Chain A
Amino acid sequence: MSVWRLMLREILHRKLNFGLGVLSVAIAIACLVGAQSLLQADRVITQHILSERQAEVETAVAEKQAEVEKAGAELQDAMRKHMLGLGFNVLILPEGQDLSELHLNGSLSATMPEHYVTQLAESKIVTVNHLLPSVTRRIHWDERDMDIILVGTRGEVPIMHRAMKKPLLDAVAPGKMVVGYEVHLKLGLKEGDKVTLMGKEFTVSTLHPQRGSQDDTTVWIDLAQAQEMLGLQNLIHAILALECDCAGDRISVIRQEIAGILPGTQVIERYSQALARAEARGYAKQSAEEALEREKQAGQELLDQTVTSREEIETRHAGLASVLVPLVIGASALLIGLLSYVNTRQRREEIGILRAIGLRAQQIMLVLLSKAVMMGLIGGVLGVVLGLGVLAFGGTGVNLPVPVSEVIRSSPVMSALVTAMVLAPVLASLASWLPGLIAARQDPAVVLQGD
Chain B
Amino acid sequence: MLELTNVSKTYQGASGPVQAVKAVSLTLEAGQFVAVQGPSGCGKSTLLLMAGGLMHPDQGTVRVGGVDPYTLPPDKRATFRGEKIGFVFQQFHLVPYLSVLDNVLAAALATGSSTRKEVSDRARQLVDQFGLSHRMHHVPNSLSSGERQRTALARALLNEPSHLLADEPTGNLDRENAETVLNAMSDFASAGGTVLLVTHDDLAASRAQTVLTMRAGELETSSPATAATR
Say yes or no: is B177 at the interface (Cβ < 8 Å to chain A). no
Interface centre among A1, A2, A356 (most CB of B within 10 A): A1
The answer to whether B55 touches A443, judged by C-beta atoms less than 8 angstroms apart, is yes
| Residue in B82, B94, B97, B110 whose CB lies within 8 Å of A9 | B97
Closest to B49 in A: A445
Q: Is the CB of B108 within 8 A of A1?
A: yes
Q: Are B54 and A443 in contact (CB under 8 A)?
A: yes
* Of A234-242, A258-266, A358-366, the one touching chain B: A358-366
In chain A between 12 and 30, which residues have their CB closer than 8 angstroms to a CB of chain B?
12-14
Within 8 Å CB of B94, what residues of A?
353
A-B contact count (CB 8 A): 89
CB distance from B147 to the nearest CB of A (A): 17
Whether A13 and B97, one on each chain, are in contact in the complex, defined by CB atoms closer than 8 angstroms, is yes
Chain B, 60-95, CB within 8 A of any chain A CB? 74-75, 78-83, 87, 89, 91, 93-95
A356 to B94, CA, bound (A): 11
Using known A-B contacts A360-B78, A445-B49, A445-B54, determine if residue A354 contacts B98 with beta carbons closer than 8 Å: no
> Contact between A357 and B55 (Cβ–Cβ < 8 Å)?
no
| Interface pair A358/B110, CB less than 8 Å apart | yes
List residues of chain B with CB within 8 A of the CB of A359.
Answer: 78, 82, 109-110
Q: Which residues of A contact B49 (CB under 8 A)?
A: 445
Q: Which residue of B lies closest to A13 (CB)?
A: B97
- Asked if A371 is at the interface (CB within 8 A of a chain B CB), the reply is no
> Which B residues touch A311, using CB under 8 A?
none
Q: Is A314 engaged at the interface, CB distance under 8 Å to the other chain?
A: no
B163 partner residues in chain A, CB cutoff 8 A: none
B93 touches A353 (CB 8 A): yes
| A443 vs B74: C-alpha distance when bound (angstroms) | 9
Contact B54 A3 (CB under 8 A): no
Within 8 A of A (CB), among B76-129: 78-83, 87, 89, 91, 93-98, 102, 105-111, 114-115, 120
Is B155 part of the binding interface, using a Cβ–Cβ cutoff of 8 Å? yes
Provide the bound-state CA to CA distance between A1 and B106, in Å: 7
Closest CB in chain B relative to A170 CB, distance in Å: 115
Q: Is the CB of A448 closer than 8 A to any CB of chain B?
A: yes
Closest to A10 in B: B97
Q: Is the CB of B93 within 8 A of A448?
A: yes
With CB as the reference atom, state the residue of chain B lying closest to A362: B75
Chain A 104-127 against B: per-residue CB contact (8 Å), 1 yes, 0 no? 000000000000000000000000
Q: Which of A1, A349, A441, A444 contacts B54 (CB 8 A)?
A: A444
